[in-house]
Amino acid sequence: SQTIHQWPATLVQPVGSPLSLECTVEGTSNPNLYWYRQAAGRGLQLLFYSVGIGQISSEVPQNLSASRPQDRQFILSSKKLLLSDSGFYLCAWSGRAQKETQYFGPGTRLLVL
C-alpha cells in the first residue's frame, strides 16, 4: 500500500531564516505531487505541483519554491521566511491510474516569529 510522509511535523522559525520541508511517497511510482498551504480561515491553497522529476509548476507567485530531486520526493523551500509564510503545509500525491484522486500527508505546522 501507498504511504506519504512529511517532516518535520512542527517547525518554529524566525523571520528571514531558510526553510526546507520534505515529502516522500512510498509504494507507488511516478506520482503527481502537490504542495498546499492551509492558513486559518483561508481554506487550502495549491502552491506547487509536479508531474515528474525536475518538473515543477507554480500556482501562486510567492516567497516559496519547490523541487523534485527524485521520483517520490518533493521539497518545499524558502531562502528567507516571512511572517505570512506561517501555516499548515500539506503534501499530496495522485497516481497515474487515478490521477484525479489526491491523498494527503499528515502535514507540517510552520510558525514564523
Partner 1 sequence: AQSVTQLGSHVSVSEGALVLLRCNYSSSVPPYLFWYVQYPNQGLQLLLKYTTGATLVKGINGFEAEFKKSETSFHLTKPSAHMSDAAEYFCAVSDQHRGSTLGRLYFGRGTQLTVWP
Q: Which is nearer to partner 1, 21 or 90 (CB)?
A: 90
Which residues in the 10-29 window bind partner 1 by CB under 8 A? none
| Binding range to partner 1, per CB under 8 A, among 14-22, 44-52, 61-69, 70-78 | 44-52
DSSP state of 29: S
Alpha helices in 16-60 (DSSP H): none
Binding partner 1 (rule: CB under 8 A), the pick from 47, 75, 107, 110 is 107
The CA distance from 29 to 41, in Å, is: 34
Binding site for partner 1 (CB under 8 A): 6, 32, 42-44, 46, 49, 51, 88, 90, 92, 94, 99-107, 109
